[in-house]
């Protein structure tokens, strides 16, 4: 088992932005690798901040230790071998968003927090955010595209997220590269998702107690398969952030999680670290 943590967070980079235009200004936040519970708590703390009158937020983050996140309404209780997961050093967390199981290890995770009608509603937001990610991926030189009909989502299931193609997903060569999920609550929309750096999603299947197989499914792809070399974290974030700025016509202003958000993170962490929440279904 690899016990080495991910690389340290890169030094902050200054973006050429004009903070005098609040209507188009979004916060850009990078956070260091955290546990699944703390990552979900941070996203929810940013939802709270937006609801309280803050600007939209684009966040990039990583996970440590490795973690399988479960969709909000996905059946999971008694489906997974928890002891084997512990032996492998893999945690579980249940997301506040929908969707299916994802293994988080070698990836870039993004989250977007904004008004639920700001980009035209949940379905339009899903597609628009993915188009922004796609613009950033193409700046990296990645050959990728969007599946049509973003209205075709994945129903709750033990079938892993990256084993099935959903409308609006980002793919390369008919294989899934980015999977995302949403929460719409109190006028705020949270969308977060995973861009795979390597394609190993096997724990989402290996740790299931009930054998699952679908010969029609395609394994996921990853950046290490479609690029000559993996970019650095700084290169990844810069290109992906630039994709959002170019496609949405926004300005991203570097920010950090503030003290009030940290306080709310502690409160939200109690739910996401509680087995009663994780294994409620």
Predicted pLDDT of residue 21: 40
Predicted pLDDT of residue 158: 62
Residues 142, 161, 165, 196: which is the catalytic one?
161
What Cα–Cα distance (Å) separates residue 148 from each residue in 173, 203, 248?
A: 14, 29, 20
pLDDT (mean) for 97-123: 96
- Cα gap 142→252, rounded to integer Å: 23
Pairing type for strands 91-94 and 67-70 reads: parallel
Q: Helix H segments across 183-256?
A: 203-206, 223-226, 233-248
Question: What is the pTM for the complete model shown?
Answer: 0.89
Query: What's the mean pLDDT when you consider all of the chain?
Result: 88
Angle at 102 between CA 96 and CA 207, to 5 degrees: 115
What Cα–Cα distance (Å) separates residue 251 from each residue in 12, 54, 61, 106, 271?
A: 16, 15, 20, 28, 33
- Cα gap 234→15, rounded to integer Å: 12
Residue partners of 36: CB distance under 8 A and separation at least 6: 63, 67, 69, 91, 92, 93, 104, 272
pLDDT (mean) for 2-29: 52
Predicted pLDDT of residue 155: 56
pLDDT at 11 over 80: no
Number of neighbours of residue 173 by Cβ within 10 angstroms: 12
Predicted pLDDT of residue 156: 56
What would be the CATH architecture of the domain defined by 22-278?
2-Layer Sandwich (3.30)
- Cα gap 207→83, rounded to integer Å: 9
Torsion of CA 226, 230, 232, 233, to 10 degrees: 60
Which tens digit of pLDDT belongs to each residue from 82-91?
999 999 999 9
Q: Which two tokens stand for residue 56?
A: 């939209």
* Annotation says 67 is catalytic: no
Query: Nearest 5°: phi and psi at 187?
Result: 80, 0
| Three-state DSSP class for residue 9 | coil
Predicted pLDDT of residue 199: 85
Beta bridge partners of 67: 91, 104
Which tens digit of pLDDT belongs to each residue from 139-186?
999 999 998 764 445 555 566 666 667 788 999 998 999 999 999 999
Which tens digit of pLDDT belongs to each residue from 33-83?
999 999 999 999 999 999 999 999 999 999 999 999 999 999 999 999 999
* Domain boundaries of the chain, sorted by first residue: 22-278
Which tens digit of pLDDT belongs to each residue from 223-269?
999 999 999 999 999 999 999 999 999 999 999 999 999 999 999 99
Predicted pLDDT of residue 119: 95
| CB contact at 8 A, 140 and 235 | yes
């Amino acid at each position: 088992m690899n016990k080495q943590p991910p690389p340290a967070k890169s030094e902050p980079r200054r973006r050429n932005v004009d903070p005098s235009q609040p209507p188009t200004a979004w916060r850009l936040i990078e956070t260091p690798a955290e546990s699944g519970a703390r990552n979900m708590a941070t996203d929810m703390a940013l939802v709270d901040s937006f609801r309280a009158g803050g600007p939209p937020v684009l966040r990039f983050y990583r996970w440590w230790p490795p973690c399988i996140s479960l969709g909000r309404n996905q059946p999971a209780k008694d489906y997974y071998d928890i002891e084997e997961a512990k032996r492998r050093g893999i945690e579980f967390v249940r997301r506040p968003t929908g969707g299916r199981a994802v293994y988080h290890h070698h990836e870039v995770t993004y989250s977007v927090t904004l008004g639920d009608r700001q980009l035209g509603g949940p379905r339009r937001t899903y597609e628009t955010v993915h188009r922004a990610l796609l613009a950033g991926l193409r700046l990296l030189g990645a050959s990728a595209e969007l599946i049509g009909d973003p209205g075709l989502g994945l129903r709750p299931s033990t079938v892993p997220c990256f084993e099935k193609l959903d409308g609006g997903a980002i793919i390369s060569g008919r294989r899934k590269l980015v999977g995302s999920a949403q929460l719409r609550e109190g006028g705020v929309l949270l969308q977060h998702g995973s861009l795979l750096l390597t394609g190993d999603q096997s724990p989402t299947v290996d740790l299931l107690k009930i054998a699952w197989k679908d010969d029609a499914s395609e394994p996921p792809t990853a950046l290490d398969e479609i690029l000559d070399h993996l970019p650095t974290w700084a290169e990844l974030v810069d290109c992906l952030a630039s994709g959002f700025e170019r496609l949405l016509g926004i300005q991203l202003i570097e920010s950090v999680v503030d003290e009030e958000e940290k306080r709310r993170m502690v409160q939200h962490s109690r739910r996401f670290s509680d087995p009663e929440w994780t294994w409620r279904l």
